[in-house]
Amino acid sequence: MPTISQLVRKKRKPQRVTTKAPVLDQCPQRQGVCLLVRTMTPKKPNSALRKITRVRLSNGKEVTVYIPGEGHNLQEHSIVLVRGGRIHDLPGVRYQVIRGAMDCLGVNGRKQARSRYGAKKS
């Protein structure tokens, strides 16, 4: 507990609030344009070819975004909706594409957890 004279000399600093998705600027989602679509290998001990895309967001910032689900129709210049949520085995990937929104189609033939992947009821 500081004394009054200590508080006079150096006042209390407000706590800094850190965000896990800084480029979204406190928004739930952001729209963006795909710059390149490619695959990336996860870190040890996992092995796969994870589908990612580099996106320029509507606020001008560029981020690497994961494309969830099996198969996708994204290519360069596709418009996508980006949400927060990191991929634990891909370093530097802190955002995900929302399937079924903008140019990104939902996952075909999905039966469970359909709302997460933008799949229509079949």
All domains of the chain in start order, with CATH? 29-114 (2.40.50.140)
Tell me the per-residue pLDDT of 29-78, one tens digit each, with 9 for 90 and over. 999 999 999 999 999 999 999 999 999 999 999 999 999 999 999 999 99
Whether residue 45 has a cis bond before it, omega within 30° of 0: yes
CB 33 within 8 A of CB 26: no
pLDDT band at 122 (very low <50, low <70, confident <90, very high): confident
Find the distance separating the first CA and the last CA of the chain, reported in whole Å: 63
State the Cα–Cα distance between residues 94 and 71, nearest whole angstrom. 20
Q: Which residues pair with 57 in a beta bridge?
A: 32
Averaged pLDDT of the chain: 95
pLDDT at 90 over 90: yes
CB 54 within 8 A of CB 23: no
State the Cα–Cα distance between residues 101 and 60, nearest whole angstrom. 20
Distances (CA, A) of 88 to 36, 45, 82: 22, 12, 17
What percent of the chain is modeled with pLDDT above 70?
100
Would you state the pLDDT for residue 63?
97
Would you state the pLDDT for residue 16?
94
